[in-house]
């Protein structure tokens, strides 16, 4: 079934990735950037044109739609979700997607960055995709397959089901969210508006991944107010906020607790933004751990380091604020694994071995699951996301599409639905 979708998925991915829809953590707007509306407006038009029902945009920046049931008997309402924004971690304006047809192995070059290379040495999974059609950007931007690939897959599933009403399935709810990359993808009203008993995000990586365990996540901000004085007369008066910020960073255990030295189930403290002047500086961190006690310990360590540096300079004002983002979906899914097992069964039915590694990140499904809609994550094929080497296999996307179509058919036949 999968090869029939290759060209549609490729066309959608290239078209969607070329649209700038990067989110912005510093914006209080909804969505955080106006460019995300370009993707939302396009999806509304495309959904309406293909005959989807109940197509609407919410005031909190999501597009919702319905694929009506084709079975007469009771069937659970299932949801499929993807997010339209791309990560603010790297340039995303002027994306120029490129298709490397029937990848033969070796290094892939980037025309806009002559020194950049992508090969199995940097991305081991690429070595497993010999013969596939590989999509990258041109070297100076991310690609945006995270999560334009998920959007393309959900839209292709919707188009196929609407064009083939003889296929048996229950009522399917679609949602396209904004601002997922900055932790604001799931509004408090989304679970009720979605109206699904269980759902799946299309936001995963390697073929076969059915993810049911994510990090638990907090965000932390350290604000430093120094004493501003003209440097020519600063002796004994100036308190340089940037120097204090540097001391905080240097005091944290960088050799054991940063993303670049951790893996598997190890958590981390990640400094992802630092800005300011001698008068005032701000450090922004994300804290990650698979267990709540480990997450709390990382927050406590950051607060302890901040307090220790503050104690050395009483003229400065230093605050550390920790706020929650999302929690490990495992805490809820392990109570009822039926949505996970259904997705694994769909993989096996398509000849794909299901994999469930712990996700060193989170999805909209993490928050949705916490809010009462069990939402595991399904693979798309995306790799090396949030940077210039980002790539994806069109054939992986086709495999994910086939799994989703199998999944909606299995859900319609599942006794008692997919979740309790």
Residue 418 lies in a domain: no
Do 276 and 289 lie in one domain? The reply is: yes
Do 53 and 129 lie in one domain? The reply is: yes
Do 83 and 7 lie in one domain? The reply is: yes
Given 10, 20, 85, 133, which residue is catalytic? Answer: 85
Do 171 and 292 lie in one domain? The reply is: no
Q: Any idea what the CATH number is for the domain that residue 347 is in?
A: 3.40.630.10
Do 273 and 206 lie in one domain? The reply is: no
**What is the domain range of residue 10?**
2-214+328-413
Do 264 and 210 lie in one domain? The reply is: no
Residue 154 lies in a domain: yes
Cβ-contact 327, 372 below 8 angstroms: no
Q: Taking CA 68 as the corner, what is the angle to CA 381 and CA 165, rounded to the nearest 5 degrees?
A: 80
Do 25 and 163 lie in one domain? The reply is: yes
User: Buried b vs exposed e over 251-287: b needs ≥16 C-beta within 10 Å?
Assistant: ebeeeebebeebeeeebbbbbeebebebbbbebbbbb
Residue 86 lies in a domain: yes
Of 326, 355, 385, which residue is a domain's last? 326
Residue 282 lies in a domain: yes
Residue 4: what pLDDT? 81
Residue 415: what pLDDT? 52
Residue 313: what pLDDT? 96
Do 343 and 364 lie in one domain? The reply is: yes
Is the peptide bond preceding residue 31 cis, with omega within 30 degrees of 0?
yes
Task: Assess whether 213 carries a catalytic annotation.
Answer: no
Residue 420: what pLDDT? 40
Residue 419 lies in a domain: no
- Phi, psi torsion values for 345, nearest 5 degrees: -65, -40
Do 334 and 319 lie in one domain? The reply is: no
Give the number of other Cβ atoms within 10 Å of residue 124's Cβ: 10
- DSSP tally for the chain: helices H, then strands E: 11, 16
Residue 255: what pLDDT? 83
What is the helix, strand, coil percentage profile of the chain, to 5? 35, 25, 40
Residue 236 lies in a domain: yes
Q: Taking CA 121 as the corner, what is the angle to CA 118 and CA 126, rounded to the nearest 5 degrees?
A: 65
Is the peptide bond preceding residue 147 cis, with omega within 30 degrees of 0?
yes
Do 197 and 226 lie in one domain? The reply is: no
Residue 248: what pLDDT? 97
pLDDT tens sequence for the chain (420 residues): 444 899 999 999 999 999 999 999 999 999 999 999 999 999 999 999 999 999 999 999 999 999 999 998 889 999 999 999 999 999 999 999 999 999 999 999 999 999 999 999 989 999 999 999 999 999 999 999 999 999 999 999 999 999 999 999 999 999 999 999 999 999 999 999 999 999 999 999 999 999 999 999 999 999 999 999 999 999 999 999 999 999 999 999 988 999 999 999 999 999 999 999 999 999 999 999 999 999 999 999 999 999 999 999 999 999 999 999 999 999 999 999 999 999 999 999 999 999 999 999 999 999 999 999 999 999 999 999 999 999 999 999 999 999 999 999 999 987 544 444
Helix (H) / strand (E) containing 63: strand 62-67
Given 180, 197, 313, 384, which residue is catalytic? Answer: 180
Of 294, 309, 326, which residue is a domain's last? 326
Residue 265 lies in a domain: yes
Cα 91 to chain center, whole Å?
Answer: 16
Q: Any idea what the CATH number is for the domain that residue 252 is in?
A: 3.30.70.360
Do 62 and 137 lie in one domain? The reply is: yes
Identify any residues that bridge with 78 across adjacent strands, giving them in sequence order.
172, 198
Do 307 and 400 lie in one domain? The reply is: no
Task: Assess whether 85 carries a catalytic annotation.
Answer: yes
Of 300, 326, 352, which residue is a domain's last? 326
Give the 3-state secondary structure of residue 289: strand
Residue 381 lies in a domain: yes
How many distinct structural domains can be found in the chain? 2
């Amino acid at each position: 079934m999968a090869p029939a979708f290759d060209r549609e998925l490729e066309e959608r991915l290239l078209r969607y990735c070329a649209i700038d829809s990067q989110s912005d953590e510093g914006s209080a707007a909804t969505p955080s950037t106006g460019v995300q509306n370009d993707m939302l407006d396009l999806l509304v038009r495309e959904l309406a044109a293909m005959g989807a029902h109940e197509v609407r945009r919410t005031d909190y920046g999501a597009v919702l739609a319905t694929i009506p049931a084709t079975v007469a008997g009771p069937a659970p309402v299932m949801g499929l979700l993807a997010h339209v924004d791309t990560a603010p971690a790297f340039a995303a304006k002027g994306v120029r997607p490129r298709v490397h047809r029937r990848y033969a192995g070796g290094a892939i070059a980037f025309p806009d960055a002559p020194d950049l290379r992508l090969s199995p040495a940097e991305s081991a999974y690429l070595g497993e995709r010999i013969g596939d059609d590989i999509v990258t950007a041109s070297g100076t931007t991310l690609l945006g397959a995270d999560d334009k690939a998920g959007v393309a897959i959900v839209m292709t599933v919707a188009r196929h089901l609407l064009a083939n009403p003889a296929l048996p399935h229950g009522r399917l709810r679609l949602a396209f969210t904004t601002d997922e990359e900055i932790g604001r993808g799931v509004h408090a009203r989304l679970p009720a508006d979605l109206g699904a008993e269980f759902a799946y995000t299309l936001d995963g990586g390697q073929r076969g991944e059915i993810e049911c365990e994510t990090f638990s996540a907090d965000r932390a901000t350290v604000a430093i107010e120094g004493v501003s004085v003209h440097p020519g007369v600063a002796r004994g008066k100036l308190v340089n906020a940037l120097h204090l910020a540097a001391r905080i960073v240097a005091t944290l255990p960088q050799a054991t607790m940063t993303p670049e030295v951790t893996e598997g189930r190890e958590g981390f403290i990640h400094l992802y933004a630092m800005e300011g002047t001698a008068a005032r500086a701000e450090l922004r961190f994300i804290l990650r751990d698979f267990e709540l006690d480990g997450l709390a310990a990382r927050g406590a360590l950051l607060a302890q380091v901040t307090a220790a540096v503050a104690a050395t300079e009483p003229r400065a004002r230093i605050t550390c604020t920790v706020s929650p983002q999302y929690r490990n979906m495992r805490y809820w899914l392990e109570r009822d694994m039926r949505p996970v097992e259904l997705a694994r069964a769909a993989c096996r039915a398509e000849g794909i071995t299901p994999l469930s590694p712990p996700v060193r990140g989170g999805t909209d499904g993490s928050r949705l699951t916490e809010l009462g809609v069990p939402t595991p994550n399904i693979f798309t094929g995306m790799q090396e996301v949030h940077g210039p080497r980002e790539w994806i296999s069109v054939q992986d996307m086709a495999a994910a599409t086939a799994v989703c179509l199998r999944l909606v058919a299995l859900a319609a036949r599942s006794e008692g639905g997919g979740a309790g």
